[in-house]
């Protein structure tokens, strides 16, 4: 006799007061909705339940979750160049002066 498995259901263990867990739950939920395989959904349930119980950390959770996500997210830091107000006004005045006399 073949034993039928019940279909996996999405776990509803979202903790709204814990921001980091809430964001992890949203990532889990999106991966859950994108995947139809019962094995994949079971693995996703294991990931979020181990994170909820404290057996794994966020870094491990996201490392394991990345294989089930459709869009790969890459975080890069970019340098923001700032300037003082006086320097900004000088450069704007110079460019305005140059544009007035460029005919």
Token pair belonging to 54: 């404290």
Q: How confident is the model at residue 3 (pLDDT cuts 50, 70, 90)?
A: low
Token pair belonging to 26: 């949203």
Cα angle 7, 45, 32; round to 5: 75
At which residue do the structure tokens 């005919």 appear? 103
pLDDT above 60 for 11: yes
Kindly state the average pLDDT of the residues 65-77: 77
pLDDT digits (tens, 9 = 90+) for 15-45: 888 899 999 999 999 999 988 888 999 999 9
pLDDT digits (tens, 9 = 90+) for 38-48: 899 999 999 99
Cα angle 15, 51, 59; round to 5: 115
- List % helix, strand, coil for the chain (3-state, nearest 5): 55, 0, 45
Threshold 0.85, pTM exceeds? no
């Amino acid at each position: 006799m073949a034993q039928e498995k019940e279909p996996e259901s999405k776990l509803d263990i979202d903790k709204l007061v814990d921001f980091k867990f809430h964001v992890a739950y949203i990532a889990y939920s999106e991966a859950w909705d994108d995947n139809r395989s019962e094995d994949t959904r079971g693995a996703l349930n294991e990931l979020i339940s181990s994170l909820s119980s404290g057996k794994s950390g966020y870094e491990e959770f996201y490392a394991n979750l990345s294989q089930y996500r459709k869009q790969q997210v890459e975080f890069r830091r970019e340098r923001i160049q700032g300037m003082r107000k006086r320097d900004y006004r000088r450069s704007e005045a110079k460019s305005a002066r140059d544009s007035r006399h460029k005919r």
